[in-house]
């Protein structure tokens, strides 16, 4: 398996274009199941996760065509008919968001059998809210041998859906199912993440009637059929935030482009509080740090517009060399500190107790061999490696490849010493 080696010490100077958002792209791809006409997605990231989902959608009857046009990377998804309503364990297990094909399949063809995704390293991550939403829309749900069987032979019906807690995936799933339901659906306590508004825009371009995404109440008036459309995927706010943290960590000056300022205000406020230079631009942000050490600041993760859980690991890496002690509270997932022991292998001083980590900044990290445990954890190790003395090698970077497009190239273009070491076939335990 591949590894990434980073030689620490180089400042970053240059421009990094932000790719399309993984967490939006994979829900937009699922929307292609809702119509027999082609859905053209532009600004598409090419990632392991989009490939996984493409593979599953192909099994269900979607023709998936990737190309690089003048407007950049695009994917056309065309499902003239649903040839199978079965999403097997081996495909869903590889990527939890694959579970979101259930709603569109039931909405379009009245039935589906989709594997339960199971837990993952960052937490149990149940799908009870997804199933509650589909039941509210009139689907009959049965669970057998690890699979969800959902049926609505006479179609879904509009309903009130009241989520007891905020869930990005369940809100998106409810939207994807309700657009073809008969009547009006109102989702209360909806997630407000920007990816929801992106999904709304795409569905509306396909002829759906959705309003309110980006607020806690989303109203959907069901339509009988959807049509093809062209839609540009929103910029990846987590990738943008990750490189903003990388620039603040390594020092220098990095301009992030092809993005939207406003998507990561909670992070940018914390970077400013820590002493980094932050200058929003028309299509992104410039991050600067020249020599001085950053101050420790506390963060607590929260649903959007709060501090994103998907940026918590990166920020922890940043705090490992800040002046003073930082308290980092994780409130979204119960087990999302697995990067802490790996950062400690690089010399970080961190103690974790329940949902809180205390990071006491050290003057210097030392390069070491470390292991990625999940997507965002893996990039936090790369960020720490940018300033660690000597070489840091990160193994299990298949996690990284799920969500960061051409990471070595993007960081390398700004002067980082980052290289991929191709696997020698040796099994990793």
User: Catalytic positions, please?
Assistant: 120
Q: 309, 320, 326, 395: which one contacts ligand EPZ (CB under 6 A)?
A: 309
Q: CB of 303: closest distance to ligand EPZ in angstroms? A: 7
| Count of H-run helices and E-run strands, the chain | 14, 24
Q: What is the spatial order of strands in the sheet that 391-395 belongs to?
A: 369-371, 391-395, 3-7, 417-421
Cα–Cα distance list, 192 to 215, 287, 290, 302, 329 (Å)? 5, 26, 35, 11, 21
Residues with Cβ within 8 Å of residue 320, at least 6 apart in sequence = 343, 346, 348, 349, 350, 359, 361, 362, 365, 384
What is the number of alpha carbons within 13 Å of residue 137 lying toward its C-beta? 41
Q: CB of 191: closest distance to ligand EPZ in angstroms? A: 6
Establish if 333 lies at the interface with ligand EPZ (CB under 6 A). Answer: yes
Q: 110, 126, 155, 306: which one contacts ligand EPZ (CB under 6 A)?
A: 126
> Which two three-digit tokens encode residue 195?
């990816």
Q: 17, 19, 20, 23: which one contacts ligand EPZ (CB under 6 A)?
A: 23
* Residues binding ligand EPZ: number (CB under 6 A): 23
285, 268 Cβ separation under 8 angstroms: yes
Q: For strand 284-289 and strand 325-329, is the pairing parallel, antiparallel, or unpaired?
A: unpaired
Show the binding pattern over residues 383-422: x = contacts ligand EPZ (CB under 6 A), - = does not. Answer: --------------------x-------------------
| Spatial separation of the C-alpha atoms in residues 214 and 217, rounded to whole Å | 8
Establish if 325 lies at the interface with ligand EPZ (CB under 6 A). Answer: no
- Identify the three-state secondary structure at position 122: coil
Instruction: Decide whether 97 or 101 has the Cβ nearer to ligand EPZ.
Output: 97
Q: CB of 425: closest distance to ligand EPZ in angstroms? A: 28
- Pick out residues in 364-383 that bind ligand EPZ (CB under 6 A): 375-376
Q: 168, 264, 346, 407: which one contacts ligand EPZ (CB under 6 A)?
A: 168
Instruction: Decide whether 11 or 304 has the Cβ nearer to ligand EPZ.
Output: 304
Q: Which stretch binds ligand EPZ (CB under 6 A): 28-36, 125-133, 174-182, 287-295?
A: 125-133
Residues that bind ligand EPZ (CB under 6 A): 23, 26, 97, 123, 125-130, 165, 167-170, 191, 309-310, 332-333, 375-376, 403
């Amino acid at each position: 398996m591949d590894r990434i080696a980073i030689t620490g010490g180089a400042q970053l100077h240059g421009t990094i274009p932000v790719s399309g958002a993984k967490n939006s792209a994979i829900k937009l791809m699922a929307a292609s199941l809702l119509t027999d006409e082609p859905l053209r997605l532009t600004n598409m990231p090419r990632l392991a996760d989009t490939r996984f989902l493409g593979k599953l959608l192909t099994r269900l009857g979607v023709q998936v065509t990737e190309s690089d046009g003048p407007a950049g990377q695009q994917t056309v998804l065309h499902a003239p008919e649903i040839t199978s309503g079965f999403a097997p364990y081996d495909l869903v297990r590889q990527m939890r968001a694959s579970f979101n094909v259930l709603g569109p399949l039931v909405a379009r063809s009245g039935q589906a059998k989709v594997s339960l995704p199971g837990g993952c390293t960052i937490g149990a991550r149940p799908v009870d809210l997804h199933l509650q939403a589909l039941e509210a829309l009139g689907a009959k749900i049965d669970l057998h041998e690890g699979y969800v069987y959902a049926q609505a032979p006479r179609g879904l019906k509009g309903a009130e859906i009241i989520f007891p807690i905020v869930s990005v995936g369940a809100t998106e799933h409810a939207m994807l199912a309700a657009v073809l339901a008969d009547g009006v659906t109102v989702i209360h306590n909806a997630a407000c993440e920007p990816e929801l508004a992106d999904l709304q825009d795409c569905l509306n371009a396909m002829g759906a009637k959705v309003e309110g995404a980006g607020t806690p109440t989303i109203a959907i008036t069901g339509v009988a059929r959807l049509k093809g459309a062209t839609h540009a995927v929103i910029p990846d706010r987590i990738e943008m935030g990750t490189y903003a943290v990388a620039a603040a960590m390594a020092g220098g000056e990095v301009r992030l482009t092809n993005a939207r300022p406003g998507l990561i205000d909670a992070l940018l406020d914390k970077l400013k509080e820590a002493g980094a230079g932050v200058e929003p631009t028309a299509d992104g942000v410039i991050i600067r740090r020249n020599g001085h050490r950053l101050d420790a600041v506390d963060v607590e993760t929260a649903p959007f517009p709060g501090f994103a859980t998907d940026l918590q690991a990166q920020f922890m890496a940043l705090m490992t060399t800040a002046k003073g002690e930082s308290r980092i509270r994780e409130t979204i997932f119960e087990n999302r500190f697995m990067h802490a022991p790996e950062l400690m292998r690089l010399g970080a001083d961190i103690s974790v107790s329940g949902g809180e980590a205390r990071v006491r900044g050290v003057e210097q990290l030392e390069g070491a061999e470390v292991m990625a445990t999940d997507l965002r954890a893996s990039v936090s190790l790369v960020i720490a490696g940018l300033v660690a003395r000597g070489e840091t090698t990160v193994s299990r970077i298949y996690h990284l490849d799920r969500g960061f497009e051409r990471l070595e190239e993007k960081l390398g273009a700004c002067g980082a010493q980052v290289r991929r070491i191709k696997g020698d076939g040796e099994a990793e335990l």
